[in-house]
Structure 1
Amino acid sequence: MKKLLLALTVLLTAQVSTAKLSVGDDVYLPELVSIESGENVDLSQYKGKVIFVEFWASWCVTCAKSFPTYNKLHNELDTEEFVFISINTDKKVKDAEKFLKRTPADFLVVRDSKKEAVKTYGPKGYPSGYIVNKEGKIVGIEESQPEYEELKALLQSLIDEGKDAADVASL
């Protein structure tokens, strides 16, 4: 019996540790619910774009400070090539809605009420952002309030990646 419990513990531990996404992993884009419309949103429709997946909660002071930076990035970058996905993790949608009235978002905001994305990504705190290249690989993780210029430069370089080769191929 002890061997069975030990084996089960090892198996469960291995599953938990492999569930956390890190740099080099494939992005996980579940179907979540839009806070604005209440409709299901299949996030996998954004494959092939540069993606910034960000986790936040209404009680997070740093999240509120980050939203103006995220709005600016969303409005300045090419939305044909880039998408900003903000995943709220509050238990009550009312908390997120109150936050968004005080701190508006110009980008897609969805709810992870079942905590599926949180369990898979395993953010260490809020806000946590996962930067994804066009190939669907996580290339960076932002675990604090982002520095606008640095984040914009990184995202723009990912957006521009491969454009020169495509331009040459079309000549």
Structure 2
Amino acid sequence: MGKILPILLVLVGVGGGVGAGLALRPDTSEQASLPDCKPVETAQITPGSTPVQPEYVKLNNQFVVPVVDRERVASMVVLSLSLEARAGSSDAVFAREPKLRDVFLQVLFDHANVGGFRGAFTTSGNMDSLRQALLDAAQGVMGGDVTNVLITDIARQDV
């Protein structure tokens, strides 16, 4: 009986591991439904020229957005943003930073008010719509100098 117990425990452990592996394996239908990736477009480079790289401008302070539920603050969302801008336009971005922060806060408050920061707020679709709204606001202030808005940090603290 003393030699059968360790063998029985090993068999139960292996059986449990195999069962857990089968139960937790990824669903193959999710992989099939992923969008197709498109190749990155490359700029036509003439001999002797170098491609122009964008600048990344990190906005100085974080954005703090209250999430209100039933007339009280339920949580706080803290974000850090950076802008992808055309080369040489970082000084213009910093000169217009107060206006950029104002329009970004308005977009973030609107996003919070429609429930964008509730539940699983970091889903791909949710983040894409937020990035697009922030990009539209940035281009309204800076024109074509801003080509993308990057959400570099995001956290929600429930109160």
Using the size of structure 2 for normalisation, the TM-score is: 0.23
The higher relative CO (CA closer than 8 Å, separation ≥ 6) is in: 1
